[in-house]
Amino acid sequence: MDPQRPTAPRPALSLLERLMPPLMAARDLHRRRAWGYGILAGTILVVGLLFAKDEIGVGFVLLMAALFGGRAAYQVWKLRRAAPTEQVAMNVDGLPVADRAAALRRIMWIGGSAAIALSVWSAWALWTLKNAQLWGPVALVYSHLGFWPAVLTCPALAALIIGSAWKKMHTSELAARAVAPRAEP
């Protein structure tokens, strides 16, 4: 290293990159999840029992606390079984280039199906408006712009999300082709 030429400082990681890096040690992931589910189970138990009004409420609180407590125990079990060197891809960018397109394709199918269900639910709730429970953004669009823009909110959101995933999938497929070794004739 040349003392006359200082090295460029590394850019600071953003909060998102610190909390959810593209690759994470499996043990760290399971430890974080175990703590999160355990804290959630304890909070549900304490707050729920303080505000439960009848036996059904107490039963529901106990059921939810047991559910999240079981998830915490499962994460502790996975933590004990994980190898110290095992890595987990936290998002699509952490996957190998060859696997990104398949993961994005799965995400697009799941997201498209969820968007269709949310669109049908929102349209039905708007159609039978007397006792509708609207999703917050749809209710906001309905109150400001009317019926049809509110009905088309979820499909428009789905088109934006699936379009961006499609673009990312296309660029990852191109990158995978560029990295893949070519057969010589």
Placement of tokens 């429970």 in the chain: 133
Question: When comparing pLDDT for 178 and 163, which is higher?
Answer: 163
CB hemisphere CA count around 132 (13 angstroms): 16
Q: In this predicted structure, what is the pLDDT of residue 6? A: 58
Detail the DSSP E strand segments found in the chain: 23-25, 87-89
pLDDT digits (tens, 9 = 90+) for 104-124: 888 888 888 888 888 888 888
What's the pLDDT score for residue 98? 78
Q: Are 111 and 99 in contact (CB under 8 A)?
A: no
Across the range 154-174, mean pLDDT stands at: 85
pLDDT in tens, 56-103: 989 999 999 999 999 999 999 999 999 999 888 877 777 787 788 888
**What are 15's two structure tokens?**
């909060």
Neighbouring C-beta atoms of residue 160, cutoff 10 Å? 10
Instruction: Count Cα neighbours of 159 within 13 Å in the Cβ-side half-sphere.
Output: 5
Is the pLDDT at 48 greater than 60? The verdict is: yes
Tell whether the model's pLDDT for residue 9 goes beyond 70: no
- Per-residue model confidence (pLDDT) at position 184: 56
Q: Does residue 140 surpass a pLDDT of 90?
A: no
**Domain map of the chain by residue range?**
22-89, 92-179
Least confident window among 7-11, 52-56, 122-126: 7-11
For residue 6, the SS3 value is: coil
> Mean of the per-residue pLDDT values for the chain?
83
Using CA atoms, how far apart are residues 38 and 34, in angstroms rounded to an integer? 6
Secondary structure string (H, E, C) spanning 98-161:
HHHHHHHHHHHHHHHHHHHHHHHHHHHHHHCHHHCCCCHHHHHHHHHHCHHHHHCHHHHHHHHH
Which whole number is the average pLDDT over 163-170? Answer: 86
Reduced to 3 states (helix: H, G, I; strand: E, B; else coil), residue 89 is strand
